Structure 1
Amino acid sequence: MKEKTIREVSKFNNELKLQGFKAFQIEEDGTETRTYSRKEFYKICLTTGKSKIHYSDKTYEQEGTILFFGNPHIPYSWETISTSYVGYTILFSEDFFKNSERSESLQQSSFFKIGGTAVLKISEEQRIFLNTIFQKMITEQESDYVFKDELIRNYISLIIHESLKMEPSENYEHNKNASSRLTSVFLELLERQFPIETIQNPLQLRTAQQYAQHLNVHINYLNRAVKEVTGKSTTTHITERIITEAKALLLHTDWSISEIAYALGFDYPTYFNNFFKKQTGTNPSSFRLSEV
């Protein structure tokens, strides 16, 4: 049974990565929702039950039917409280949706932004309508229709636009202020970049500007907030975390200095050497030897 489950999960992930999209019923999902990479896929869930969702700076505790929007760049977790929990989930990559002429609506939608509305309370009438859309996507993904990807993208756009017309949920808890909220999300996003597990998946976010872009805020606003709350600059936090990871890779892997440099997002080993020496006072090779 365990071997069968592993094969099913592997098949699920392979299909998701190849197609950039997957729709399924939650009651048929099993362990699948816990095995895909949240760093790569947007998520929309239509669920009925009792749950608590921690998303960015907010906590939503809901009972009944809700529509949830998950952004891969914003940390979130989901606690299922009720014994029965049903509904639908769709996962899709940014590249999949970018092929649509309407892709800008994804980036600009308030549902996928920090400080936006990640959870909507859904009426019974709305649930019935949205159920139909999710069911159509599940059917289409298995069809041989040549333009099914474009049709599925249209269904996603329809869900987003229908949601924009709904009353947003107000059942959430705020952090103390906007600065602490943004800083908390930045630090969580920073930590999610690590550990670096393979050379084939190097560090993607290395600068304060890149983090600001992923968090949909101006770089100056991010810098002010982080400095105000922690006393350190955004760049200092990023630098310290990269150095910590560099030391771990030097001590606990047999990767070459060049491979570690690439894994940490440096274009050339010399750039990494200079960066490491500036921060630690020694070069990577000497550090590795001194700790043996």
Structure 2
Amino acid sequence: MEKPDIPRFALESFARVNYKVPFLKVQHYPLDANYFSIENRENYPVVDYISPNRRQFFKIFHMTAGTGVLTVGLHQYTLGPGDIAFLHPDEIMSWQTTSEETGGHFCLIHPKYFERDADHILQSLRMYPYFKASKAVIQLSANQSAMVNQHFKSIVEEEKSTNDDKKQAILLHLQMILLEAQRAGKILADAAVPESYGYIHGFLSLLESSFQVHGQDVSVKLKTAAEFAGQLHVHPNYLNSLVKEHTGKTLREHIQERLMYEAKTLLLQTDWDISNISNGLGFSGHAAFTSFFKKKEHISPSIFRKSVLSQVNS
């Protein structure tokens, strides 16, 4: 069976389509993030980034000023004032700011925020028609945008308050935001992403799927850069150059960064012992995992676990 030809388009062709170089700073959500958080975009530094799968959080953001390019999956949107975006946890997304001014809000919502008393709202989020890559951005009218903005402001005020029923109030405002967007129903036209972006998306998607740890007795099979390139039917040197050019890191660096993120996740969110974690992540043994972790973090995994958990519980 003949191998497919290596694509022969210049790296510069990717940079000319809406993007700066490098712009894709891979951004993982903090492991200690709150189950619900909301920020005013005017007070929050806007950075150009890409967020891979398994963010765990649903994300909603509304713009009142400024412009930017949002990519959800393989769909690209040019956003401006009055647009609202709905981002599902499973979608790879990227953002690039294209203006100096910015305004609006964004919120992150973990499914566990709805536990016990609001499961019906979680189900409505999961069934909501716009948490899909091909329908992720809605254009609001001026009046609708003003109402949505006021709901976000009310959520900010409630979140800062000490009201006993603040969660109930937040959820009511959230449902009104969903309702206003659904009433608008005007899906922003999307465009296909540049072909080169598809390779970066494909690599991150494969990288993410390779870290599905199913249990202490099932080891992840760590893939090499060449194996990822083979799955995408491109030469390893081409894929490495492309990823390096647009993220500032090599394939190997991304693989190791994702490995460290999974290691920290297991250390902080499970009660597995170090041997089980090292086995689950595909290391040859406890010593190999500890050596890798110390080289990256300058601290042993056991001390890292104790230190972070003690801060969380204090």
Q: Per the shorter chain, which TM-score range?
A: 0.5 to 0.7
Distance 1:102 1:53, change over 3 A: same
Tell me which residue corresponds to 1:137.
155
After TM superposition, the structure 1 = structure 2 runs for residues 200-211 of structure 1, keeping only pairs within 5 Å, are 203-204=211-212
Contact 2:47–2:97 (CA under 8 A) maintained in structure 1: no
Q: Partners in 2 of 1:26 and 1:129 — Cα distance? A: 17
Query: 1:194-222: per-residue Cα shift (whole Å, max 9, x none)?
Result: 7xxxxxxxx44669xxxxxxxxxxxxxxx
Q: CA deviation at 1:30?
A: 2.4
Tell me which residue corresponds to 2:224.
none
Query: 1:94-142: per-residue Cα shift (whole Å, max 9, x none)?
Result: 1113441222111111221344x11111221111111110010000011
Distance 1:79 1:163, change over 3 A: same
Instruction: Tell whether 2:212 aligns with 1:190.
Output: no
Q: 1:151 is matched by which residue type in structure 2?
A: A
Instruction: Tell whether 2:169 aligns with 1:154.
Output: no
Q: Partners in 2 of 1:46 and 1:95 — Cα distance? A: 23
Instruction: Tell whether 2:131 aligns with 1:108.
Output: no
Q: Partners in 2 of 1:146 and 1:61 — Cα distance? A: 40
Runs of 4 or more consecutive aligned structure 1 residues displaced over 4 Å after TM superposition? 31-38, 183-187, 203-207
Q: Which has the higher contact order (CA 8 A, sep 6+)?
A: 2
Tell me which residue corresponds to 2:7.
none
Q: CA deviation at 1:75?
A: 0.6
Contact 1:74–1:185 (CA under 8 A) maintained in structure 2: no
Instruction: Tell whether 2:32 aligns with 1:30.
Output: no
Q: Give the root-mean-square deviation of aligned CA atoms.
A: 3.9
Q: Partners in 1 of 2:37 and 2:68 — Cα distance? A: 23
Give secondary structure in 2 for the equivalent of 1:191: helix
Q: Partners in 2 of 1:138 and 1:36 — Cα distance? A: 24
Distance 1:33 1:17, change over 3 A: farther
Contact 1:52–1:61 (CA under 8 A) maintained in structure 2: yes
Contact 1:57–1:184 (CA under 8 A) maintained in structure 2: no
Q: Partners in 1 of 2:84 and 2:180 — Cα distance? A: 11
Q: Partners in 1 of 2:121 and 2:275 — Cα distance? A: 43
Q: Partners in 1 of 2:205 and 2:213 — Cα distance? A: 10
Tell me which residue corresponds to 1:44.
60
Tell me which residue corresponds to 1:59.
76
Q: How many residue pairs are counted as aligned between the two chains?
A: 201
Contact 1:49–1:65 (CA under 8 A) maintained in structure 2: no
Distance 1:95 1:190, change over 3 A: farther
Tell me which residue corresponds to 2:138.
120
Q: CA deviation at 1:165?
A: 1.6
Give secondary structure in 1 for the equivalent of 2:82: strand
After TM superposition, the structure 1 = structure 2 runs for residues 157-236 of structure 1, keeping only pairs within 5 Å, are 157-174=175-192, 188-192=204-208, 203-204=211-212
Higher helix share: 1
Give the TM-score normalised by structure 1: 0.57
Tell me which residue corresponds to 1:69.
86
Q: Partners in 1 of 2:164 and 2:130 — Cα distance? A: 30
Percent sequence identity is: 18
Query: 1:23-74: per-residue Cα shift (whole Å, max 9, x none)?
Result: 2211111269979997132211111222111111100013332101122221
Gaps spanning 5+ residues in structure 1: where?
1-12, 195-202, 208-228, 232-243, 250-254, 265-271, 273-283
Q: Partners in 2 of 1:79 and 1:175 — Cα distance? A: 13
Tell me which residue corresponds to 1:81.
98
Give secondary structure in 2 for the equivalent of 1:156: helix
